[in-house]
Chain A
Amino acid sequence: MKKQLALFICILASMIVVNSPVLATSDKVIKIGVVYPLSGAMGLVSEGIIAGHRTAADVIMKNGGFQGHKVEFVVRDDTGNPELNTRFCRELIINEKVDWIFSGFGSSVGLSAAAVAKQLKTPTFIIGGATEKITCEEWNPYIFRYRPTSMAEANAVAKIVATQMTKGIKDPKIFFISWDYEYGKSLHKPFMKKIKELKPDVKIVGEAWPRTGETDYGPFISHMISTRPDVVVNAIWAGGVVSLLKQGSARGLWEITKFIGTAEPASIEYRKAMGMDMPEGAWGNTYDDPTWPDNEMQKKLYDSYYQYTGKPRSDPPPAVYSPGYYMVQLVNKAMEKAGSIEPESVIKAMEGLEIDTHLGRIKIRDFDHQVTSYYIWGPMVTQKGLPYKVLDKDRIQLLNCEPDLYSKEEWLKIREAAGKK
C-alpha cells in the first residue's frame, strides 16, 4: 500500500513537472528568423532595424519577458530579391525551425514572405513592404505589417504637395519617379487620384520607371530637367534615393525643381549619407527623428540603444531602430496577453493589441493585422555646425496611417472582388 502510494505520488509529481510551463519549456529558445537586405541598393537601413530587434529582446529578457524564454535571432541577407527571400524564409522555417519570421523590407519581398507564411503557417512580421496587397488581397492570418501602407503614404504626399509645396502655384507641374516594381505601382495610383482631387489644375509632366536597384539615373534626371516640373514626387528608396538625389544635385536638377520622397528619405541614415548634397527644403518622411519629439520615452528608447551598441551619444540612432524595437515589444506583449509562446495563441493575442510608443499609441488591427503606425514628415534644412540636413521642427507633421487605411467593409469588398475569403 505504501509502495503504491509512493508510486502514485511520484507519477503525480512528474506530471506536474512535465506540464509546468516554466519548468517544462524553460530550455526552449524562441527563434526568430530575420530576412532583410543587408547589402546592395537596399542594404542601407537593415543594420538599424536588427539593432532595434536585438536591443528590445535584450531588455525584455533581462526583465524576465518572453514568458521566461530566451530569444535568438537567425539572420539572412536576401539582398532585396524576392526569390532569395522565399528561399531563406523556407530554409529558416524548415531547417532552423524558427518560431517567427521578421522580413519583408520591400513590397516584392513582403509579398513573397507573406506567401511563405501562409504556406508554412508561420507568424511573420513584415516591417517594410508597403503595398496594400500584403494586408488586403494577399492577406493571411499569419502575417502582420508594421509600416504604414503605400496608400497612406500616397495620400500624405498628395496633401503635402497640394498644401505646402505648390501653394500659390497655378497649374503646378508634377513629375513622378519610382522603381518599376510593386511599391511604386501601389503608390502611384492613389497619389494620382488624391492629388487631382486636391489640386484639379495639376499637370503630370512625366513619369519615370527605372529598374529596381538602378544606380545610374542620368537619363531620368535629364528627362526631369527637360520637363521642368515644380515638384518631383519620388518613390525610390534606400541606396537608390541617395543616388538619385546626389546625381540630381550634380546635374543641377534641384536648382529648378523641389523634391518630395516616400520610403523615409528624411531618415537620419539617408541624411548622413547625403550630407550637404541633400537639396535644401526637400521633403521626406521618417519613422523617427533623433531630436523630435524629444520626450522621456524617446530618451529611454535611445538609452537602451547606446547601452546595447556601445556607440557614442554623438552618433544618433538610425530611424529604423524604433520600429525594430517596437515590433519585438508587440510580440512580447502578445505572449504576455496569451500567457503562452505558442504561435497560434500569440497570433490571436496580437489582434487588437495596443502599445505606447514615443510618437503615440499604436494598435494592431484585428481584421487585417496592420499596425496603425506613424510617419514623421518634414522639409530638410541646413543647421549651422552639422554636416547634414535636419528636419525643420516648425513644419514637422506627425501623421498616423489609420485614417488612410481601408475600413473593414472596404477590406472585405476588395478581398471578395479578388476571390479571397
Chain B
Amino acid sequence: MEVVITLFLDGLSRGMIYFLLAAGLTLIFGVLNVINFSHGAFYMLGVYSTFLAVKYMNMGLAFIVVPIFLALIGGVAEFVLFRRIYKSEHVMQILLSLGVIYIISDSIRLIWGVAPKSVTMPSFLQGLFRSGNLLIPRYNLFIIIVTLSIVIIMFLILYKTKTGSIIRACTINQELTSCAGINVPSVFLLVFMAGVGLAGLAAVIAAPVVTGMLGMDAQMIIIAFSVVIIGGVGSIAGALIAALIIGVVESLGILVLPGFAETFMYIIVVVVLFLKPDGILGKPMT
C-alpha cells in the first residue's frame, strides 16, 4: 500500500509539471491557433537557464528570472517569426517550429556544450518526509504545493480579471473581439509570452529533479501535446485533469508493466480521441 501511495504522489507531482508545460501550449494553441512544436525546446532552454541562474544567483531568484527571460525570448519569437504565419496552414507552422527547435538546440550546444547539466536542489528541500511507514520525497510535496498555488493564480487571472476575459474572448472568436476594439495582435503577443513563460516556470520547478540534456525537448513536447489533446484544446481545466491523469498513470504504470509505463499515455490519447475527440473539457472545433 505504501508503494502505491508513494507512487501516486510522485505521479501527482509529475502531472503538475506536465500541466505547467501544457497550460502554456494549450493557451497558445487555443488563442493563436498555432501548433508550436518548439514549446518543448523552450522548456529545455528553461532547464539550462535554471542551471545558469542557480550557479550565479540562487534557486529563489531563478523562479523569477528564468520565466521572465523565457517570456522575453518567446516575445521575440512571436514578434519576429510566428506572427507571420498565423493565417498559414498548419504545415507551415510545424515547419517554422522545427526551425525554432534547431535554433534553440544549437544555441544550447554552443553555450553549454553537450555534457548533461543538473541543478542541485536547495538542501531544505532534499531528503524524505516521514509519516508512519510512508516515505515521501520532500521535493514531490513542494512541487504539488507550489504548482497548486500557481494553478489558483492562473484561474484567478483568467476568470476574475479583465485581461483574462479578453484572452478567453480571443479563444472563442478573434474577429468579434477585434471588433470590440481590442488590439488582438497585442493579446497574441501577451499570450505567447505567457505560454513560454509557463514553460520556463515548469523548467525551474523540474530542474532539480531532471537532467538537462540535448534532446530532452522531444519527450516533453509529446507529453505536452498529449495533455492538450486529452484535456481539450484551449481548456486550462482540461489540461490540469489530463496532466494529472498522465502523471499518475506513468508513475503507477511502472508497477504494472515496467517496460511499458509510457505506453499507457498513448492508450489514453487513443481512447479519448475515440470517445470524445474534442478532449475531456474541449469544445467542438468549428
Residues of A within 8 A of B (CB): 38-41, 43-44, 180, 207-209, 211, 213, 215-216, 218-223, 225-228, 239, 242-243, 246-247, 249-252, 255-256, 273, 277
Contacts and interface: CB of A to CB of B under 8 A. Distances in A.
Given A211-B262, A222-B137, A255-B127, A41 B118 contact: no
A77 to B, nearest CB: 9
Which 6 residue pairs are nearest across A and B when measured between Cβ atoms?
Answer: A251-B137, A252-B128, A252-B127, A222-B10, A243-B211, A219-B251
B210 A216 contact: yes
B258 A251 contact: no
13 contacts: A40-B215, A41-B213, A213-B215, A215-B213, A216-B14, A218-B209, A223-B3, A223-B254, A242-B116, A250-B208, A251-B126, A256-B128, A256-B135
A226 B7 contact: yes
Contacts of B126: 249-252
A219 B257 CA distance: 13
Interface of B: 2-3, 6-7, 9-11, 13-14, 109, 114-116, 118, 120-121, 125-128, 135, 137-140, 208-211, 213-216, 219, 250-251, 254-255, 258-259, 261-262
A225 B135 contact: yes
Given A223-B254, A250-B121, A252-B138, A243 B116 contact: yes
Nearest to A219: B251
B116 A225 contact: no
A226 B135 contact: yes
A247 B115 contact: no
Given A219-B250, A219-B251, A226-B2, A239 B127 contact: no
Interface of A is mostly: helix
Given A225-B128, A252-B138, A209 B118 contact: no
Contacts of A41: 116, 213
Nearest to A248: B137
A226 B8 CA distance: 12
Nearest to A207: B258
B3 A227 contact: yes
Nearest to B47: A215
A44 B116 contact: yes
A215 B211 contact: yes
Contact of B210 (A207, A243, A251): A243
Given A215-B216, A249-B126, 16 more contacts: A41-B116, A207-B258, A209-B258, A215-B116, A216-B210, A219-B10, A219-B261, A223-B3, A223-B6, A223-B7, A227-B3, A250-B120, A250-B208, A251-B126, A251-B128, A251-B209
A218 B114 contact: no
A49 to B, nearest CB: 15
Contact of B118 (A44, A243, A252): A243
Contacts, number: 119
A320 B250 CA distance: 36
A367 to B, nearest CB: 35
Contacts of B261: 219
Contacts of A255: 127-128
A71 B7 CA distance: 54
Contact of B116 (A219, A250, A273): A273
A209 B120 CA distance: 25
A227 B1 CA distance: 11
Contacts of B9: 222
Contacts of B251: 218-219, 222
Given A40-B214, A226-B6, A247 B209 contact: yes
**Best-surrounded residue of A43, A207, A208, A222 (most CB of chain B within 10 A):** A222
B116 A220 contact: no
A43 B6 contact: no
A338 to B, nearest CB: 38
B211 A219 contact: no
A180 B257 CA distance: 12
A246 B7 contact: no
A39 B214 contact: yes
A220 to B, nearest CB: 6
Given A223-B7, A256-B135, A239 B258 contact: no
B106 to A, nearest CB: 12
Nearest to A214: B219
Contacts of A223: 3, 6-7, 254-255
Given A218-B14, A255-B128, A225 B137 contact: yes
A228 B216 CA distance: 30
Contacts of B115: 43-44, 273
A83 to B, nearest CB: 15
Contacts of A225: 6, 128, 135, 137
B189 to A, nearest CB: 32
A220 B128 CA distance: 15
